């Protein structure tokens, strides 16, 4: 569920009359994630410039998630087992959900996590979202709800624009592939 929430809030591309929703340069963001109905979680998200790849780690989870958005795949890495499993995430792309055909409204500005951001609201038949987004496409605060009422929120607590090494987006070569898993079968698919 956390991965779906993060994907929904973070991994989008910009439309002409919408804010930039993918960073223009590599960035690592520390977030507090509030999954709908769950307890807040500290999460670190590294995003490649342009938003094609992302690495998600959480203090409370013994795993990492590598997202390859162009391929529509997330790889769940389990260091304890030196193994990974792949998940098809294409149908959970936020552009196919809340943000598909959304109307965007620009609001005021805020200072969060050491940066200035602009408030935006998005509304579509699939749901609503709001976010405070930097000019460079980094979401510092966001929340969403789909048409079924499921949703969540993120709040950035720190941002680092250091260039990320290429291995950040790669599967470890000597790890075992446990085969594909389904978010539906795990009970983690957004509704």
pLDDT confidence bin for 4, thresholds 50/70/90: very low
pLDDT confidence bin for 181, thresholds 50/70/90: confident
pLDDT of 175: 95
Task: With a cut of 60, say whether residue 156 has pLDDT above it.
Answer: yes
Strands 53-58 and 73-78: unpaired
Q: Are 49 and 37 in contact (CB under 8 A)?
A: no
Please give the full DSSP string across 58-99, using - where no structure is assigned: ETTSS-EEEEETTTTEEEEEEGGGTEEEEEE-GGG-GGGTTT
- 2-163, what's its fold? outer membrane lipoprotein receptor (LolB), chain A (2.50.20)
Q: Are 30 and 164 in contact (CB under 8 A)?
A: no
Nearest Cα to Cα of residue 115 among 148, 149, 156, 80: 156
Handedness of CA 32, 34, 66, 69 (dihedral sign): negative
Q: Where do the domains of the chain lie?
A: 2-163
Nearest Cα to Cα of residue 66 among 167, 187, 174: 167
**What are the residues facing 43 on neighbouring strands?**
31, 58
pLDDT tens-digit series, residues 22-80: 999 999 999 999 988 789 999 999 999 999 999 999 988 888 999 998 998 999 999 99
Share of the chain above pLDDT 70, in %: 81
pLDDT of 182: 65
Full-model pTM? 0.83
Structure tokens at 90: 């294409």
Contacts of 113 (CB under 8 A, 6+ apart): 29, 30, 140, 156, 157, 158, 159
């Amino acid at each position: 569920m956390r991965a779906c929430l993060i994907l929904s809030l973070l991994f989008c591309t910009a439309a002409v009359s919408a804010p930039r929703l993918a960073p223009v340069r590599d960035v690592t963001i520390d977030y507090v994630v509030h999954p709908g109905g769950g307890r807040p979680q500290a999460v670190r998200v590294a995003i490649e410039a342009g938003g094609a790849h992302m690495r998600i780690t959480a203090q409370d989870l013994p795993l990492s998630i590598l997202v390859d958005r162009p391929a529509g795949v997330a790889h769940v890495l389990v260091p304890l087992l030196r193994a990974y499993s792949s998940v098809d995430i294409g149908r959970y792309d936020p552009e196919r959900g809340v943000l598909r055909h959304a109307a965007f409204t620009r609001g005021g500005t805020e200072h969060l996590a050491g940066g200035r951001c602009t408030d935006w609201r998005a509304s579509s038949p699939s749901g609503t979202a709001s976010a405070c987004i930097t000019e460079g496409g980094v979401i510092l605060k966001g929340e969403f709800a789909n048409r079924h009422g499921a949703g969540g929120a993120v709040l950035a607590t720190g941002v680092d624009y250091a260039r990320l090494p290429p291995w950040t987006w790669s599967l470890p070569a000597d790890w075992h592939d446990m085969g594909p898993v389904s978010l539906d079968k795990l009970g983690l698919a957004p509704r």
